[in-house]
Amino acid sequence: MTDTQEAHLSPETVLAEMRKNGVSHVVWLPDSETNWLYMLMKAEPTLTLIAVAREGLAFSTAAGLHVGGKTPIILIQNTGMMEAGDSMRGWGMGLNVPVVMLVGYRGWTRHGVTKDTAAVYTERFLNAFGISYYLVENDRDASRISVAFEEARRTRRPVAVLVGDEYHGFNS
């Protein structure tokens, strides 16, 4: 494996984590960076995809799925997560929904100054709600997704996985 490959989070790895944790429904708002994952999820017979019209609807829809006995995952971008704050509070935390949200970390960088305000406010936003989060940058971090699922189940709260490889991993 080359350094370049090691630096990527592959969609196959993300899908494997979903399968491992019994995900039944992916509630999501597509973005251009996750198209490869979309193709794989669409072909996966154990998954039902529910595209939402705005991210706030992801939390209420996931809550309905959970109350009905299913295991949803939410797949959105950090911009949409912030837009969905009140729904996350009311439908996610208020109904004790143990859902993992896989959040594309737009603007995230390890290098230099973070210029994108979407990234500047992402972790501050999660901290304000007291929501745990795990950064996943590449395949070597992918086991953190299972850690997030375990924590969500144990605490009966939403837990975030911040995907810090948004601009290359899913498109590799």
Partner 1 sequence: MIVLHEMLELFQQHRGKAIVIPGRGNRQWHEISTLPSRDLPLGDPAMGGHAGFALGLAMAMPGEKVVLFDSEGDLQMSLGVLAMVAEHKPGNFYHFLLDNECYATTGGQPVPNAARVAYDQFAKAAGYPSVHAYTNLESLSLDMGRILAAPGPTFVAMKIVPEIENRPMGQRPPRLLRSREQVIAGFRGEFGIAG
**Binding of partner 1 at residue 77 (CB under 8 A)?**
no
Note whether 75 and 50 are within 8 A (CB): no
**Binding of partner 1 at residue 65 (CB under 8 A)?**
yes
User: By CB under 8 A, what part of segment 45-64 binds partner 1?
Assistant: 48, 50-54, 56-64
CB atoms within 10 A of CB 39: 11
**Binding of partner 1 at residue 157 (CB under 8 A)?**
no
Nearer to partner 1, 96 or 109 (CB): 96
SS3 state of residue 131:
coil
State the DSSP H helix or E strand holding residue 134, giving kind and residue range, or none if neither: strand 133-136
Q: Show Cβ contacts of residue 75 under 8 Å, excluding neighbours closer than 6 positions.
A: 26, 27, 28, 29, 34, 37, 101, 102
User: By CB under 8 A, what part of segment 3-42 binds partner 1?
Assistant: 25, 27
**Binding of partner 1 at residue 95 (CB under 8 A)?**
yes
**Binding of partner 1 at residue 128 (CB under 8 A)?**
no
What are the residues binding partner 1 (CB under 8 A)? Answer: 25, 27, 48, 50-54, 56-70, 72, 86-87, 89-91, 94-96
